[in-house]
Amino acid sequence: MDGIHDVGGMQGFGHVLPLDAGPPFAQPWEGTAFALGLLAIRAAGANLHAFRHAIERVPPGEYLRGYYNRWLIGAQILLEDSGIVSAGQVSARAARLRGAAAGEPAPPEPHKPQMASGGAGNLRAIDRPRAFSVGDRVRVRDLHPAGHCRAPRYVRRRAGLVAAQGPGHVFPDSAAHFLGEDPQYVYSVEFDSRELWGPDAEPFSLTIDLFEPYLEPAT
C-alpha cells in the first residue's frame, strides 16, 4: 500500500536526530510494547509480514508519534484482525485502569488465519530457474498494490543493475495476507542516484533487495 511507512525520498522531516547512545527502551512501556508486538504475532496466529503490514495500516498521525507507539498499535491491529481483542475492549480496559468504573464488552470470537508454514524463518529453497542474472539491467514494475509490498515508491519505474542474487524468500506480499508462502527469489539491485533523483542528485549508488515479481527486463 502507498502508506505513510514508505518514506524513502520524502522531504520535510527535517534534521536527523542526534546519534544518541541511550538504552534500548527509553521508558518502561516501550519494553512492554516491544515484547507485546512479538507476542501478538503468536497470539494472533499471524506472521512477521502481517505484523509489518499492520504497522503500515496505523493511521499517519499515530504512525508519526513514534516507533513503539506504531509498533504497539500494529500489535493491536493484528489482534483485532484475528478476533483476539476488540478496540472496544482495549478502550474500556484503559478506562478501568485509569479508575473509571466502566463495564467491558465481551471478547470477540477468535478467527485466526490459517496458512501452511514451510518451516522456520523466511528463507526458502526454490526449485525453478531464476529470471535474472548478475549484471542484468532490470526495471521495477509500476506497482500500485492495495496490500503489503516491499518495493518502495522511489524505485518503482526505475532501472538498475542486478548486483547480486539473494536467497529465495517467503513472498511478503502473499504471506502478509495469509495467502501462502509463495517463495520468490530476491535480487540486490543497484541504482545510480541520478536515475532515482534526477541529474542534480548527489553522486552515489543505492542498492535494494527486490523480489523477482517486482522486476522486469529493462530495455
Partner 1 sequence: MTTATSHLDPALRAEALASLLAERGLIDQATVDSFIKAYEQSVGPMNGAKVVARAWTDPQYRARLLADGTTAIAELGFKGAQGEKIVVLENTPRLHHVVVCTLCSCYPWPVLGLPPSWYKDPSYRSRVVREPRQVLAEFGLVLGDDVQIKVFDSSSEVRYMVLPLRPPGTERLTEEELAALVTRDSMVGVAQVSGP
- Interface residues for partner 1 in 43-62 (CB under 8 A)? 43, 52, 55, 57-59, 62
How many residues of this chain interact with partner 1, rule: CB under 8 A?
92
Phi, psi torsion values for 214, nearest 5 degrees: -80, -15
What is the closest distance, in whole angstroms, from the C-beta atom of residue 127 to partner 1 in the complex? Answer: 19
Minimum CB distance to partner 1 smaller for 67 or for 137:
67
| Range 147-186, binding partner 1 (CB under 8 A) | 150-152, 154, 166-167, 169, 186
Smallest gap from Cβ 128 to partner 1, in A, equals 18
Q: What is the distance between the alpha carbons of residues 2 and 65, in angstroms, rounded to a whole number?
A: 19
Contact call for residue 132 and partner 1 (CB under 8 A): no
CB of 18 or CB of 219, closer to partner 1 = 18
**139 lies in the binding site for partner 1 (CB under 8 A):** no
Task: Please give the Cα distance from 24 to 178 (Å, whole number).
Answer: 31
Task: Determine, following the binding rule CB under 8 A, whether residue 29 of this chain makes contact with partner 1.
Answer: yes
Residue 10 near partner 1 by CB under 8 A: yes
Cell readout for 44 is: 494472533
Does residue 145 belong to the site contacting partner 1 (CB under 8 A)? no
Cβ neighbourhood burial of 188 (10 Å; 0-12, 13-18, 19+): middle
What is d(CA 215, CA 137) in angstroms, rounded to the nearest whole number?
10
The residues in 102-131 that bind partner 1, with binding defined as CB under 8 A, are 107, 121-123
Q: Look at phi and psi of residue 33 and say left if phi exceeds 0, alpha if psi is from -120 to 50, else beta.
A: alpha
Beta strands in 98-179 (DSSP E): 137-140, 159-169
Q: How far apart are CA 162 and CA 185, in angstroms?
A: 12
Selected binder of partner 1 within 38, 102, 126, 179 (CB under 8 A): 38
Cα(172)–Cα(180) distance, integer angstroms: 10
Q: Which is nearer to partner 1, 11 or 219 (by Cβ)? A: 11
Residue number with CB closer to partner 1 (135 or 203): 203
Nearest approach, Cβ of residue 57 and partner 1 (Å):
7
- With CA atoms as reference, report the closest residue to 53 among 175, 135, 198: 175
Residue list 194-213, contact with partner 1 (CB under 8 A): 196-197, 201-211
Decide: is 98 part of the binding site for partner 1 (CB under 8 A): yes
